[in-house]
Structure 1
């Protein structure tokens, strides 16, 4: 039984070591475009260490030759040489530090761009499963760990190893008996480093996770500050954030405790070793088997070995910390985009707008289909309203058209082409969405409208704003089109935000338009202005309208009624009222509610 436990521990240690090595290699590969600068910096660092190794030999010569022979000229020469060595070491150290820091910052910049580009390629499902704060934490906090590994841990491991081996070789050359005292401590330090390193790595990963959680909590609350204040939940949100940062503190405290225990143990061990060396070396000098210069040089090399092993131990824990954090980065980079272009995907220059659903099934989770066997044939230029109870699958249906998700069964065609065989970017260039909750970027009104067509001229933007019934209120704002809208458009009303979204869609000039409850949250006056703008936008375009208020879809060419993911009715407003069924029930219920409200 005991043997099995030992075998399991050995296997686990080998596995951890292999995983660590693979992670280090992957971090190092990030520096490939700047490998020459990295190598130059490392060579300069090794050269600086080599200069440092020669200093104790100079001190030995100073003590043994100069003081014994009382040669002042030799003293001046050795002092001058030592000064030159120190100056040379400073220059080498400067070059090494500069280029390593340069490579580190360059790699971090490239990595942030690569991560952000990868995030843009990921599908909606990934973002629905992850909190924004956690994603932001990976872009900011976790990326710094890679810089630590590249600029500190990896290069210093090389230079410290060189310094350690050099010191050992010179120490053995000076006195092999004293060297044995130092060597006895190495196995103990190695075992301690491996034991503590694995635990520190795990805690480092936990710290990054806790940091991401606290960032997510803060972003949740600050992003909904209006709701927080409206419900007087400031104290509650402070409590939530306090709890999350306290969890972070407790995890950090465990790491600090382990690290402190580790370094204290290493320090005591090496200080004891140095005392023994000093004592035993003094006996050797008294016995005539060692000169004073040899002992001083030996003590310097012992200090160098002590420092090198301590640094290697620290570097090992630093690398484990960096790897623990970088795991989260590579986990994100390894995330495969759910929606990808097929190898035979084509680009389309223009579309007529015919949309077909052929026996489409879709589920967010297995065994729980949201859409069931949907078949539709929408003609180019047709206006189709999709209505039904909440949770029926209306928004999911239109989200399949721009391939935000792919159905598990069935096909969706545009102008006879399966959308899986159309390049995503090309497909989405011909589709515009005006949602219920409009998102505006925290830039100017002009830049938010221009998002529909990035190379649009100012005249085009003004025309789109006018057609969206937005130009009048824009011109009443002091800075006009250049006015900042605030975070998520907080400086504008709901109706104003909707009209900017319509202007953005008009500027894009899409072949297919998706309107998702675009007027449901507006007052009567704003709704009238927005509805008028929408009618302009809908002209000569295939339009899908999701609407809760059935009074806004009565003039649609066709109304699709969905219940529990299935099409239960379709036809014009008058036809559906004549047939009876779910649509008539929904219409009459709303009609009664509106009369009561009046």
Structure 2
């Protein structure tokens, strides 16, 4: 029930519309139950000779029309009454549908906004671990399931309760014997429905998760389609998709079978009940203890009574599915967001950094960084080198407080990092990732997106510093060129330089290049680094790279191995001692010499 308590929070401001829908349902139900009574009076008293058995206000109305004889001569009046009752019922059902739809759309809109907003404030670690396809499925398919339940099934539950209450009163007034017989099977169907509710919930959850896995495969495949084509992995991807699709199909088919069994058995029981009433009713009519009009009316009411019971399978199934969807939404909303403590400091940040004995581990007893210590002065360039998994990116993530270190101290301008407001800190650190993300917008929009009210001159200047300005001008549409989803229309180096320009436009006091210069050629790499030094001598720059020529001119080079600093110093200092840096330098230079010898 936790999920439904969550749902109640989103109904604020829309409850009146649901109340209006329920009132309309009640009125539509009243119009429905009057119809069979009109038919009963018509058969028994207008066509037949029985005295009119109806409330006094109905008898008085008939007398005002001229009495029974007038109705006998104008039987069409009874038909007109039935038509008017049907029209009235239709009008109320229209407003029921309108108001319930408006309320459900409003509630679901608020739910989407809440989930989306919550996702924006979840931790970096959460987004690293979660499957994107599963999140997409929860934010679309699961919320759509909830919308359908709110728009249709929720009001139908109220409608079913009202029909049961009203119809039972009328049925007892018509014939107690038939009413007791007709109610004999209702408890059985309700018990059957309750058991079904428990069992079908787990099946819906399994099918929902399978759909999430299938969505993930589709999302990954479409995102990495160029890689799939480049390596000829189409058959492998099709096989992987078929496997997830088969799992989803099997689980969904199993769910459909359960629903099929429920519908079949419940329909059989309901029709068996109808047959029993019809047989007994005909017998009592023939024996003179029941009028034909009463039997016809009673059969109509029996259909109304069994309708909620027959629909209970669908309502229960959709309720169960909605409960699963609500729990999946609740799982997202229960994830703790990054706490924004307004009392944290917002100091001036100019790039002076001091790291002392910092240790960090993602999981217990799995240390990623151990006793890291070094100092950085404003305006210096720091190069970080190390094998894969040595902790280079982790160190930068700590600097931006994407993770918080376990032991030690990191100070910026003499202020402990953990005491600085995260948003404030990240506004002063520009990060260019190894795999840049570009939006499906123009090049101008992609460069200016990180700076509010960016001027065209600012965009041009940052593009020039990233050595991409002239390339952009060669495009037919220039800066208005659409880069396509994730920048697919640009080469790897062009995407990288656009992302560099996006970082440079803000004049961050701290810049981080996380192996982001690897996609550009050596000459462009050198020009960009030279431009960075001339552009702002007060910017502290971190460069992670495996290309030692990129690192050689740095003020300080840090070599990480197995999470520890194995070497630290300038290029000249590190070349005078044996170690990983000198070894990589010699290997890369010898390869370059060999390429020059063969004329490459």
TM-score, reference length from structure 1: 0.92
Matches within 5 A, 1:21-60: 21-60=1-40
Question: Match of 2:179?
Answer: 179
Quote the offset at 1:50 in angstroms: 2.3
Deviation (angstroms), 1:306: 0.8
Matches of 1:50 and 1:356 in 2, distance apart?
78
**Greater than 6 Å deviation, 4+ residue runs:** none
CA contact (8 A) 1:358 1:376 kept: yes
* Separation (CA, whole Å) in 1 of partners of 2:525 and 2:187: 78
Structure 1 residue 101 corresponds to structure 2 residue 110: no
- Worse-superposed segment, 172-181 or 413-422: 413-422
SS in 2 for 1:71: helix
Distance of 2:184 and 2:310 partners within structure 1: 15
Question: What's the counterpart of residue 61 of structure 1?
Answer: 41
Q: Would the aligned equivalents of 2:342 and 2:421 in 1 still touch at CA under 8 Å? A: no
Aligned pairs for 1:521-536 (under 5 A) are 521-536=519-534
CA gap 1:302/1:343 in 2 versus in 1, 3 angstroms:
same
Point out the more displaced range, 299-308 or 452-461.
452-461
Q: Distance in 2 between matches of 1:146 and 1:238?
A: 32
SS of equivalent residue, structure 2 residue 520: coil
Matched, 1:375 2:373: yes
Indicate the residue corresponding to 2:351 in structure 1.
353
| Structure 1 portions without partners, runs of 5+ | 1-20
* Distance of aligned partners of 1:22 and 1:540 in 2 relative to their CA distance in 1, 3 Å threshold: closer
Q: Secondary structure at the match of 2:517?
A: coil
Partner of 1:390: 388
In the other structure, the counterpart of 1:197 is 197
Q: Deviations over 1:262-293 (max 9, x none)?
A: 11101111111111111111222233332222
2:476 is aligned to 478
**Aligned-partner Cα distance in 2 for 1:379–1:276:** 92
**Could you say what secondary structure the match of 2:505 adopts?**
helix
Question: Secondary structure in 2 aligned to 1:456?
Answer: coil
Contact 1:498/1:530 (<8 A) preserved: no
Distance 1:357 1:460, change over 3 A: same
Deviations 1:209-237 (CA, angstroms, capped at 9, x unpaired): 11111111111111111111111121221
Using the TM superposition, give the Cα deviation of residue 132 of structure 1 relative to its aligned residue in structure 2, in angstroms: 1.6
Greater CA drift, 315-324 or 265-274: 315-324
Q: Write the distance in 1 (CA, Å) between the matches of 2:222 and 2:584.
A: 38
Does the Cα contact within 8 Å between 2:526 and 2:550 map onto a contact in 1?
no
CA contact 1:371–1:566 (8 Å) conserved in 2? yes
Greater CA drift, 392-401 or 47-56: 47-56
Cα distance in structure 1, aligned partners of 2:35 and 2:215: 49
Aligned pair in 2 of structure 1 residues 59, 24: CA closer, same or farther (>3 Å)?
farther
CA contact (8 A) 1:27 1:149 kept: no
Task: Evaluate the alpha carbon distance shift between residue 359 and residue 53 of structure 1 in structure 2; reply closer, same or farther with a 3 A threshold.
Answer: farther
In the superposition, relative to structure 1, how do residues 71 and 24 fare at CA in structure 2: closer, same or farther (>3 Å)? Answer: farther
Look at both structures and tell me which one has the larger radius of gyration over its CA atoms: 2
Shift of 1:186: 1.5
Distance 1:86 1:347, change over 3 A: farther
Aligned match of 2:55 = none
Question: Would you say the 8 A contact 2:200–2:317 is kept in 1?
Answer: yes
Name whichever of 476-485 and 70-79 sits farther off. Answer: 70-79
- Determine the C-alpha separation between the residues in 2 that align with 1:179 and 1:123: 61
Change (3 A) 1:536 1:98: farther
Supply the distance in 2 between the matched residues of 1:227 and 1:533 (Cα, whole angstroms).
33
User: Which of residues 456, 459, 462 in structure 1 aligns to 2:460?
Assistant: 462
Query: 1:304-383 residue pairs with structure 2 within 5 A?
Result: 304-337=304-337, 339-342=338-341, 344-348=343-347, 350-383=348-381
SS of alignment partner, residue 508 of structure 2? coil
Measured after TM superposition, the shift of residue 357 of structure 1 is 2.2
Which residue pairs with 2:277 in the alignment?
277
The answer to whether the 8 Å contact 2:430/2:503 transfers is yes
Alignment match, 1:437: 435
Given the superposition, is the C-alpha separation of residues 291 and 347 from structure 1 closer, same or farther in structure 2, using an over 3 Å criterion? farther
Partner of 2:57: none
Question: Kindly tell me: are residues 42 and 485 of structure 1, through their superposed partners in 2, closer, same or farther at Cα, counting changes over 3 Å?
Answer: same
Q: Which residue of 2 aligns with 1:18?
A: none
User: 1:116: which partner in 2?
Assistant: 116
Aligned-pair distance for 1:532? 4.2
Give the Cα–Cα distance (whole angstroms) in 2 for the partners of residues 375 and 51 of structure 1.
Answer: 81
- Partner deviation per Cα, 1:53-107 (whole Å, 9 max, x = no partner): 2221222222222112563437454433322221111111111111211222222
Residue 528 of structure 1 and its aligned partner are, at CA, apart by: 4.1
Distance 1:182 1:324 in 2: 34
Per-residue CA deviations over 1:20-44 (Å, capped at 9, x if unaligned) read x443333343222322222222222
- For residues 345-383 of structure 1, the C-alpha deviation after alignment (integer angstroms, 9 at most, x for no partner) is 2345x4212222232221122211100122232222222
Q: Tell me the equivalent position of 1:487.
A: 485
Q: Tell me, what secondary structure is at the counterpart of 1:32?
A: coil
SS in 2 for 1:508: coil
Deviation at 1:161, TM superposition (A): 0.9
TM-score normalized by structure 2? Answer: 0.92
Would you say the 8 A contact 1:341–1:422 is kept in 2?
no
Contact 1:489/1:497, CA 8 A, preserved across alignment: yes
Shift of 1:157: 0.4
Match of 2:64 in 1: none
Q: Aligned partners of 1:191 and 1:521: how far apart in 2? A: 66
Match of 2:239 in 1: 239
Residue by residue over 1:503-535, the C-alpha shift from the partner in whole angstroms, topping out at 9 and shown as x without a partner, is: 111212111111111222333344344444444
Alpha-carbon distance between aligned partners in 1 of 2:152 and 2:221, rounded to the nearest angstrom: 37
The whole-number CA distance in structure 2 between the counterparts of 1:26 and 1:534 is: 51
What CA distance in whole angstroms lies between the structure 1 residues aligned with 2:46 and 2:355? Answer: 96
Q: Which residue of 1 aligns with 2:140?
A: 140
Please say if residues 48 and 93 of structure 1, whose CA atoms lie closer than 8 Å, have aligned partners that are also in contact: yes
Q: CA deviation at 1:158?
A: 0.8
The alpha-carbon distance between structure 1 residues 402 and 346, as it changes in their structure 2 partners (threshold 3 A), is same
1:422 aligns with 420
Matches of 2:149 and 2:306 in 1, distance apart? 22
Q: Where does residue 507 of structure 2 map in the other structure?
A: 509
Corresponding residue to 1:590 among 581, 584, 588: 588
Aligned to 2:59: none
Maintained 8 Å contact 1:520/1:547: yes
Give the Å deviation of 1:313. 3.0
Question: Cα RMSD over matched residues?
Answer: 2.0
The separation in 1 between residues aligned to 2:411 and 2:39, in whole angstroms, is 83
The 1-side partners of 2:40 and 2:534 are apart by 92
